[in-house]
């Protein structure tokens, strides 16, 4: 009986730490991508913007898994899964808009899409993390 409880507790800890690692990796990847996009806009470097959008897309994909979000959120924040999921969808759409505008050389519209990604991130963090 005691061994069973230890195994169950170990499995729970591994699951939670894995979720934490995925979320940390996701956030770090998106942060790096956002920094590259910003540097690209500041330095008129389309390649840097493109690389940044790929990173944000990659990090956002990790973040889009509802089960991982649920495991990451503290017990008193579990009801906010939909906020995080909506934010991931918003970011995904904005990345597509940013990329299309870059292809069409509509740099102001691309910059607006970047701003919306930043707003989506800030909104989610302020709601979920109680900034």
Q: Which of 6-15, 54-63, 67-76 has the lowest mean pLDDT?
A: 6-15
Rounded CA separation 94/91 (Å): 5
Architecture of domain 2-128: Up-down Bundle (1.20)
Where do we find the tokens 């170990």? Answer: 10
pLDDT tens, residue by residue, 76-119: 888 888 888 899 999 999 999 999 999 999 999 999 999 999 99
pLDDT tens, residue by residue, 12-40: 444 444 445 777 888 899 999 999 999 99
Contacts of 45 (CB under 8 A, 6+ apart): 39
Q: Where are the domains of the chain?
A: 2-128
- Higher-pLDDT residue of 65 and 88 is 88
pTM: 0.79
Q: Residue 44 is encoded by which pair of tokens? A: 């008129």
Residue 73: band (very low, low, confident or very high) from pLDDT cuts 50, 70, 90: confident
- The pLDDT, as a whole number, for residue 17 is 46
- The pLDDT, as a whole number, for residue 128 is 77
H-only helix segments in 2-131: 2-42, 46-63, 66-72, 81-103, 107-128
Mean pLDDT score, 52-69: 86
- The pLDDT, as a whole number, for residue 9 is 43
């Amino acid at each position: 009986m005691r061994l069973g409880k230890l195994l169950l507790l170990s499995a729970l800890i591994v699951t939670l730490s894995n979720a934490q690692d995925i979320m940390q990796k996701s956030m770090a990847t998106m942060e790096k991508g956002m920094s590259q996009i910003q540097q690209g806009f500041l330095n008129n470097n389309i390649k840097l913007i493109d690389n940044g959008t790929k990173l944000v897309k990659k990090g956002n994909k990790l973040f889009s898994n509802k089960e991982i979000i649920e495991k990451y959120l503290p017990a008193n924040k579990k009801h906010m899964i939909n906020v995080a999921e909506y934010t991931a969808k918003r970011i995904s759409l904005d990345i597509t808009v940013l990329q299309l505008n870059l292809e069409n050389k509509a740099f102001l519209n691309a910059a607006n899409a970047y701003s919306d990604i930043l707003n989506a991130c800030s909104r989610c963090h302020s709601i979920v993390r109680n900034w």
